[in-house]
Chain A
Amino acid sequence: MQVYKKDFPIFSQTIHGKPLVYLDSSSTSQKPSCVIEAIAHYYQHNYANVHRGVYELSERSTHLYEKTRKKVQWFINAAHTHEILFTRGTTESINLVAQSYGRTHFKAEDEIILSEMEHHSNIVPWCMLQEQLGIKLKIIPVLETGELDLLAYEKLFSSRTKMVAISHASNVLGTINPLKKIIAIAHAAKVPVLVDGAQAFPHMPVDMQLLDCDFYTFSAHKAYGPTGIGILYGKTALLEKMVPYQGGGSMIEKVSFKKITYGQLPYKFEAGTPNMAGVVGFYAALDYLEKMGMKAIVQHEQELLAYATSKLKAIPGVRLLGTAPDKVGVLSFVLNDIHPHDIGTILDHEGIAIRAGHHCAMPLMEKYQIPACVRLSFGLYNSREDVDAFVAGMQKVHEVFN
């Protein structure tokens, strides 16, 4: 197994006297030196506002900003650069679609299809439309294995269905959803599909033209990039029909107090001075992913997942949540009557960072009838040794509680 850990300076420290074992990459990923350095370099050498000045620094800054947009386009194989919009993250991307597309295209009694495994960020924006417009939410159930019930999904469509909003991979179950099939079914009913790709993007190749989804969203901070920057991909035809999400500088062509002419794509959706350092840092993260190679990353993480799954299953009393055949490196479980927070505290004492709680997926917790669960999730810097440390940590949990 290749060792990527050396590229990430955070791992040079100890936590509670133990080497840091970070198993919470679904929540946010650690940053390689190249990303940290790119941000510092940008502030030190190239920083100025984008799309404004006629001076050298502003031109450099604009170049770096737009170069990232092109890189994202290339990375996810979008048909056009202007289909890549910079946002604050997945959450803002989904809110943008809900408020811009949704508020102008949906009316009372229209229906949106979501699934039971969605993260709150792909539930709440639609619930807000429920309150604002009186739309209805239809929910695809999750089977015991953690897979979507596709037969039930097909039956949810009606003449009032206006959108399907679905995660590419579940942040709790790890399930990779069969998007091609889900999208084909929706398109046959002439319904557009928004994909929440937050848990998929840095863990597998993602191809917009192959998937043929209408919107795709993800966050840089889960993909080894900085916080506060994310992507909304949208098909040109849909984005052109949409009204701006926020108003301000950059997104206009002409402004008078009587009439505003909005700018072209993608600027129509990027009001105000953007998170330029975030964009520059994201370029470095994409560059890093490219150098490591998505194929190698997938292989590394899948090997880890298989190793950790077998280790976890061998621990007495563990109930694994999500056993779909096709998964990203996410493992959630409960252990007898020991509460996940107690496990989290004990593991932290061993220098192991895991997530305990409802993982912003309360409907899913309800489905499995648990208040919370423990989750380990992998990034490319994790190794078999990390899994072994986790297993040893679970032994400590056993010692404390018995």
Chain B
Amino acid sequence: MSELRELYQEIIIDHGRHPRNFGFLPEATCHQEGFNPLCGDKIILHLYENKDVVEDLKFEGSGCAISIASASLMTECLKGKSRNEIEEIFNLFHKWVTMNDVPDEFKEKLGKLEVLGGVREFPARVKCATLAWHTLKAALLGQNLKLEVVE
């Protein structure tokens, strides 16, 4: 049960059930859809960006506890961050959930997002944790396209 507990920590169950920043953002400057064709998880991200700073972001969609919690935690963490800061967090987060030997300092830098590290032991679920993040990346690259994540 320990690996499972590591994956389904209370904070993940909470954010999965009661996602923060969930809904439409009328003033958004960008809308981006992310879709996982293998499991049907879907995230629509709405970003309001002003002078390279993501001042607000919200999301809609449906998916498993991991993908919804990851999107919820991501929106909390990234609000008010600049593009450069976001890129740094994205890279840290991606390494954190996919690699086994990441330095401890990552944990501090990631703050709450650290809880998603439990997916490392569940390779089939990594894509759930990264769906929102890949959607965000596509949004910032200005693709404004449907994005399919097959990780």
B-binding residues in A (CB < 8 A): 337-342, 345-346, 349, 356-358, 362, 365, 371-372, 396, 400-401
Q: A341-B125, A357-B40, A371-B62 are in contact. Are A346 and B4 (CB under 8 A)?
A: yes
CB-nearest residue of chain B to A340: B64
Determine how close the nearest CB of chain A comes to the CB of B36; give it in whole angstroms. 10
Q: How many residues of B contact A (CB 8 A)?
A: 22
Does B3 sit at the interface, judged by CB under 8 A? yes
Determine how close the nearest CB of chain A comes to the CB of B131; give it in whole angstroms. 12
Bound-state Cα–Cα, A400 to B63, Å: 17
User: Which residues of the partner chain A approach B39 to less than 8 Å between Cβ atoms?
Assistant: 341, 356-358, 372
- B17 A342 Cβ-Cβ under 8 A: no
Bound-state Cα–Cα, A357 to B63, Å: 11
CB-nearest residue of chain B to A365: B40
Determine how close the nearest CB of chain A comes to the CB of B11; give it in whole angstroms. 14
- Of A345, A358, A362, the residue contacting B125 (CB under 8 A) is A345
Does B31 sit at the interface, judged by CB under 8 A? no
Determine how close the nearest CB of chain A comes to the CB of B10; give it in whole angstroms. 10
Does B65 sit at the interface, judged by CB under 8 A? yes
Bound-state Cα–Cα, A371 to B35, Å: 12
Q: A365-B40, A371-B40 are in contact. Are A339 and B64 (CB under 8 A)?
A: yes
Q: List 12 A-B contacts (CB under 8 A).
A: A337-B17, A339-B64, A341-B39, A341-B64, A345-B4, A346-B4, A349-B1, A357-B38, A372-B39, A372-B40, A400-B4, A400-B5
CB-nearest residue of chain B to A341: B64
Q: A341-B64, A400-B4 are in contact. Are A371 and B41 (CB under 8 A)?
A: yes
A-binding residues in B (CB < 8 A): 1, 3-5, 7-8, 13, 17, 38-42, 62-66, 122, 124-125, 128
User: Which residues of the partner chain A approach B4 to less than 8 Å between Cβ atoms?
Assistant: 345-346, 349, 400
- B65 A342 Cβ-Cβ under 8 A: yes
Q: A400-B4, A400-B8 are in contact. Are A342 and B66 (CB under 8 A)?
A: yes
- B40 A342 Cβ-Cβ under 8 A: no
Bound-state Cα–Cα, A318 to B102, Å: 40
User: Which residues of the partner chain B approach A396 to less than 8 Å between Cβ atoms?
Assistant: 1
Determine how close the nearest CB of chain A comes to the CB of B42; give it in whole angstroms. 7
Bound-state Cα–Cα, A56 to B41, Å: 56
- Of A338, A339, A358, A362, the residue contacting B63 (CB under 8 A) is A339
- Of A340, A345, A372, the residue contacting B7 (CB under 8 A) is A345
Query: 8 more A-B contacts (CB under 8 A) besides A396-B1, A400-B4, A400-B5?
Result: A337-B17, A342-B66, A345-B124, A346-B4, A356-B39, A357-B38, A357-B39, A371-B41
Determine how close the nearest CB of chain B comes to the CB of A106; give it in whole angstroms. 29
Q: A342-B8, A371-B40, A372-B40 are in contact. Are A349 and B66 (CB under 8 A)?
A: no
User: Which residues of the partner chain B approach A342 to less than 8 Å between Cβ atoms?
Assistant: 8, 64-66
Determine how close the nearest CB of chain B comes to the CB of A124; give it in whole angstroms. 14
User: Which residues of the partner chain A approach B125 to less than 8 Å between Cβ atoms?
Assistant: 341, 345
User: Which residues of the partner chain A approach B64 to less than 8 Å between Cβ atoms?
Assistant: 339-342
Bound-state Cα–Cα, A341 to B7, Å: 13
Bound-state Cα–Cα, A199 to B135, Å: 37
CB-nearest residue of chain B to A399: B1
- A345 B40 Cβ-Cβ under 8 A: no
User: Which residues of the partner chain B approach A362 to less than 8 Å between Cβ atoms?
Assistant: 40
